[in-house]
Amino acid sequence: MLANASPAALIAAILLPPLGIYLARGIGPAFWIGTVLTVLFWVPGILFALAVILRPDLLARA
């Protein structure tokens, strides 16, 4: 089931993935995972950020 994501968080997830995760979920494990993936390579960071924002049930909030 898709979550109601804000347009700002979706745009931020594409341009700067950790910012998109922060806007949607705050600072937590998902934020740090997204940051590491973005530093390693940008595309995995984008995919992870979109997954966290659009499908929050995949990575439950701690």
Say what angle helices 17-25 and 29-40 make with each other, to 10 degrees.
170
For 23-60, how does the pLDDT look when each residue is reduced to its tens digit (9 = 90+)?
A: 998 999 999 999 999 999 999 999 999 999 988 777 76
Asked if the model's pLDDT at residue 2 lies above 70, the reply is no
Query: pTM for this structure?
Result: 0.84
Task: Check residue 3 and give its pLDDT.
Answer: 63
3-state SS track over 9-58: HHHHHHHCHHHHHHHHHCCCHHHHHHHHHHHHCHHHHHHHHHHHHHCHHH
- In angstroms, the first-to-last Cα distance of the chain is 20
Q: Do residues 34 and 48 touch, judged by C-beta distance below 8 A? A: yes
